[in-house]
Amino acid sequence: MKSSLTLTLDKDLIKIAKEYATIQKTSLSSLVESYLKLLVSREEYIDYEKIPITPFVRSMVKGNLLPPNFGYKTAYREYLLEKHK
């Protein structure tokens, strides 16, 4: 059974998300629903073939957890130095 939900989001984010949904030939509601299904499901029980979700969104959920003392500024600086050698 479907039900409606009102979300309050940044105006620019809504615009970009709608454009993304159009490119993906789906609705913004479907994108949000797919993401929430993936988010609340346990990783070991997910059948990715049954959830219509883009690889980009799936990659956000599978991100690695960083240690609490991770120095993101230092890591980014090192990445840039290596990239521009």
Is pLDDT larger for residue 45 or for residue 57?
Answer: 57
Which stretch of 21-25, 41-45, 79-83 has the lowest confidence by average pLDDT?
41-45
The predicted structure's pLDDT at residue 43: 62
Give residue for tokens 């409606």: 4
- State which amino acid sits at residue 30: S
- Cα-based angle 21, 23, 26 (whole degrees, multiple of 5): 40
**pTM given for the model:** 0.46
What are the residue boundaries of the structural domains of the chain, listed by start? 11-83
Report the alpha-carbon distance of residue 24 to residue 8 in Å, rounded.
23
As a whole number, mean pLDDT of residues 28-49 equals 77
